[in-house]
Amino acid sequence: MQYHSAVRDRMEEVMQRHPDQVESAIVMARSEFRLGIRNLDEARLRNSRRIWRAAVQIDSTRGEVWHGFAAAAMALGEYRATRRAARSLARHRPAAGLFIEAAANLRLGDPETAWLRYKEALQLADRGEEDLFQRGQGFLNGDDLESIARAVISRPEAIAVLRELGEDPQPGDDLDFKLVLEHPGMRERVISEWWTSSDQRPAQGYSTGELEYWTRLVEADVLFGRDDEKRRGWSTPPGEVWVRWGRPTSTFYDPGGGGSTSRLDAIAAAGVRFPPEHFLPPNAPPIWIWTYRWLGTWISFLFLDRSRSSTWTPSASSGNDLADLRAQAPLRLPELTRREPFDVTVSAVSFPRAGEDALVETYVALEPTAAIFDMADEAQAERLWYSDRDTLALIDWAVFDHDGTQVDHLRRVVRAGSRLSVIVGVLGRPLDPGARDPFVASIGARLPAGRYRIAVEVTEPVTGARSISDFTVGVAAAEPGGLLEMSGLELATAFMPWNWDIRIPTEFVKYTTVIVPSPDHRVPLGSDALGVYFELRNLALDGSGRSNFDVRYSIYASNREIRDLAFGERPDTDQLELVAPASMNFLQERTGVSPQGLVVKGTELDVGALGAGDYVLVVSIHDRIADDLISRAAAFRISSR
């Protein structure tokens, strides 16, 4: 410390004697920054920023002085100053300036501009930076992705991939997701879908989780990198921890020496999680402890400067802790901590159509919560929400292709007439006792074959509070040669014939049949019926132009084996027939033919005898003329609420 103090005094003296020499200011500012950043010492960082400002005033044509000023401001959390310096840096080093400006914009709460600046910066990035930012190279690899893959890849799809790779998994088996990730394109898809799992604005053109990752990369590089040594900050141990877990909640620095009692007391007062005497032997090297406190998590990491040159490496125990955390999740991203204004549930069904595009319908259900007005009394909050208002909520609905490009967007207004009890009341069918009474909407789009992400944001227009939901859906290619095709199963709360006297939104009418969807696939305990609607295309015709087919409705108690059999690419109906169904009865059935030649069916299934629990409905079709079989499945739950 005396050495650093003497150097600083000498440099201050040189600066005073030669105030127009930028080199001495750069050396002094850089030294102060490195001393300050090693323990996030605010006083030193402010002094570094002061000297960098002086260097800028001496010579504003040098990119390194703008970079240094931006780094000091970023370390202090002064993001407006960081952004101003980054814009000046961009005139000399465009990519670096754009990256830092993007990071500052995100920290200032402007994700839209941050996204645009990052896209501009990535156009100028080298291949290594592109792999790091856009593909997670180095941070989302190998074992890091296994837990993510289990969360985002459905078992039926994983089974199909393993079979393509020559494996033969059986229903109910544990699956090798490491092997699944070796399938071409699967790694990129898993990463893309994982970003959406923490996305706070899923209907927008950017991912808030990915933006946070990019911004941590920039911060780690700016704070811990060394341009003069060609060392990137994210490749240092502190930089890696910063990228994975973010800015620490608190830090503790000690220059080293004996493990005195006063030193242990100071460590304990700093909120360090581990017993310090275990890690701090006498004459220990300089230490830097980072502590993170999240909901349900309190952990500290110990870095040692064994060479006493600010080259930090984790202790053996902290290295093990880092590996354990990486196995749980390779990155910790911001969580949604606000109270949700709505309970939102979403489901989707794909309907085959002539040509290459299918109709994908999304069914949205939303219920207001007391959080709309931050009130504990839910009934009072709901009364206020309804009071003299035409627009109760706004639904932003968007579709993104496998590259993350938005291909469709729609905004829907939710009004009082969208409530389920109002809709079924028009039909003369009151809700069953205990049934939920959400607001419902049906939104559709024509999409070619592929895999899509559908995102829904529901905004309360007075408070601006928002609830979100997103999921992926696959659209199958049209069967070649006019082979039999079947839509997914749309589960329905209400099902009945339609006529012009029924005043109901047209989104709930399909070919003269009223189908009011049940987006959450829940049936109140004690209900007699569950509606289901589906469509058939390319049924074979006899000589008189008539079709001839059988329909089988089977409801099974849900377990992993049943789900594996029912939700595969081709449901294994032979194996399912060996299992006794819980019900095979229906109450009424309607069959029609659309102007486009689709055979459409609506059915009310008998669920009155079923107890509370999870079930799988399988609808199997046998085309008697073509001797062709096809099946579709849907999961649902019977519950008291």
CATH of the domain at 567: 2.60.40.3880
**What is the β-pairing status of strands 439-448 and 357-368?**
antiparallel
> Are 262 and 314 part of one and the same domain?
yes
Asked whether residue 427 carries a pLDDT value surpassing 80, the answer given is yes
> Are 345 and 459 part of one and the same domain?
yes
Range of the domain at 434: 341-477
> Are 465 and 483 part of one and the same domain?
no
> Are 488 and 628 part of one and the same domain?
yes
> Are 469 and 516 part of one and the same domain?
no
Q: Residue 371's domain is classified under what CATH number? A: 2.60.40.2550
3-class state of residue 249 by DSSP: coil
DSSP H stretches of helix in 280-419: 316-328, 378-386
Q: Which of residues 295 and 364 earns the better pLDDT score?
A: 364
3-class state of residue 511 by DSSP: coil
Of 447, 477, 507, the one marking the end of a domain is 477
Mean predicted confidence (pLDDT) in 501-523: 86
Residue 143 belongs to some domain of the structure: no
Contact 211, 223 (CB under 8 A): no
Question: Got the DSSP string for 126-184?
Answer: -HHHHHHHHH-TTTS-GGGGHHHHHHHS-HHHHHHHHHHTT----TT----HHHHTTST
Mean predicted confidence (pLDDT) in 588-605: 85
The pLDDT, as a whole number, for residue 571 is: 72
Residue 532 belongs to some domain of the structure: yes
Among 285, 283, 225, CA closest to 253: 285
Least confident window among 165-174, 229-238, 603-612: 165-174
Least confident window among 91-95, 544-548, 611-615: 544-548
CA distances from 355 to 65, 104, 536 (A): 60, 47, 15
Residue 144 belongs to some domain of the structure: no
Least confident window among 89-98, 299-308, 320-329, 605-614: 320-329
Spell out the SS3 assignment of 20-49. Answer: CCHHHHHHHHHHHHHHHHCCCCHHHHHHHH
Find which of 96-105, 220-229, 460-469, 602-611 is predicted with most confidence, using mean pLDDT.
96-105
List the Cα angle 606/533/555 in 5-degree steps. Answer: 40
Least confident window among 18-27, 75-84, 456-465: 18-27
Among 117, 562, 140, CA closest to 329: 140
Q: Which of residues 365 and 311 earns the better pLDDT score?
A: 365
For 295, residues 6+ apart whose C-beta sits below 8 A from its C-beta are 335
Q: Where does the pLDDT of residue 337 fall: very low under 50, low under 70, confident under 90, or very high at 90 and above?
A: very low
Residue with tokens 């202090």: 76
Among 436, 435, 439, CA closest to 460: 439
Asked whether residue 16 carries a pLDDT value surpassing 70, the answer given is no
* R_g of the chain computed on alpha carbons: 31
Q: Residue 92's domain is classified under what CATH number? A: 1.25.40.10
Contact 211, 334 (CB under 8 A): no
Q: Which of residues 254 and 338 earns the better pLDDT score?
A: 254
> Are 285 and 381 part of one and the same domain?
no
**What is the β-pairing status of strands 628-639 and 522-524?**
parallel
Among 464, 468, 294, CA closest to 374: 464
Handedness of CA 608, 610, 612, 618 (dihedral sign): negative
Least confident window among 120-124, 193-197, 518-522: 193-197
Angle between helices 79-89 and 63-75 (to 10 degrees): 160
> Are 467 and 524 part of one and the same domain?
no
Contact 356, 350 (CB under 8 A): no
Residue 621 belongs to some domain of the structure: yes
Residue 131 belongs to some domain of the structure: no
Find which of 126-130, 316-320, 330-334, 480-484 is predicted with most confidence, using mean pLDDT.
126-130
> Are 298 and 440 part of one and the same domain?
no
> Are 410 and 367 part of one and the same domain?
yes
32 Cα distance to chain centroid: 40
CA separation for the pair 512, 499 (Å, rounded): 7
For 522, residues 6+ apart whose C-beta sits below 8 A from its C-beta are 436, 636, 637, 638, 639
CA separation for the pair 444, 211 (Å, rounded): 29
Least confident window among 89-98, 296-305, 344-353, 547-556: 296-305
Q: Where does the pLDDT of residue 421 fall: very low under 50, low under 70, confident under 90, or very high at 90 and above?
A: confident
The pLDDT, as a whole number, for residue 242 is: 93
CA separation for the pair 178, 356 (Å, rounded): 34
**What is the β-pairing status of strands 450-459 and 393-400?**
antiparallel
Contact 449, 358 (CB under 8 A): yes
CA dihedral in degrees (210, 213, 215, 216; nearest 10)? 170
Residue 51 belongs to some domain of the structure: yes
Of 439, 462, 477, the one marking the end of a domain is 477
> Are 473 and 483 part of one and the same domain?
no
The pLDDT, as a whole number, for residue 2 is: 43
For 26, residues 6+ apart whose C-beta sits below 8 A from its C-beta are 55, 64, 65, 68
- Number of structural domains in the chain: 4
Q: Where does the pLDDT of residue 370 fall: very low under 50, low under 70, confident under 90, or very high at 90 and above?
A: low
> Are 467 and 485 part of one and the same domain?
no
The two tokens of residue 440 are 């419902």
For 108, residues 6+ apart whose C-beta sits below 8 A from its C-beta are 79, 80, 83
- Burial pattern 467-493, b for ≥16 Cβ within 10 A else e, equals bbbbbbbebeebeeeeebbbbbbbbbb
> Are 558 and 624 part of one and the same domain?
yes
Handedness of CA 190, 195, 199, 205 (dihedral sign): negative
- The total of other beta-carbon atoms located within 10 Å of residue 346's CB is 22
Asked whether residue 540 carries a pLDDT value surpassing 80, the answer given is yes
DSSP 607: -
The pLDDT, as a whole number, for residue 3 is: 41
Of 477, 497, 519, the one marking the end of a domain is 477
What is the percent of the chain where pLDDT is above 70?
A: 86
Residues in the chain: 641
Contact 203, 457 (CB under 8 A): yes
Residue 148 belongs to some domain of the structure: no
Mean predicted confidence (pLDDT) in 151-168: 84
Asked whether residue 533 carries a pLDDT value surpassing 90, the answer given is yes
Residue with tokens 């079923």: 610
Mean predicted confidence (pLDDT) in 435-447: 88
Residue 184 belongs to some domain of the structure: no
Contact 411, 391 (CB under 8 A): no
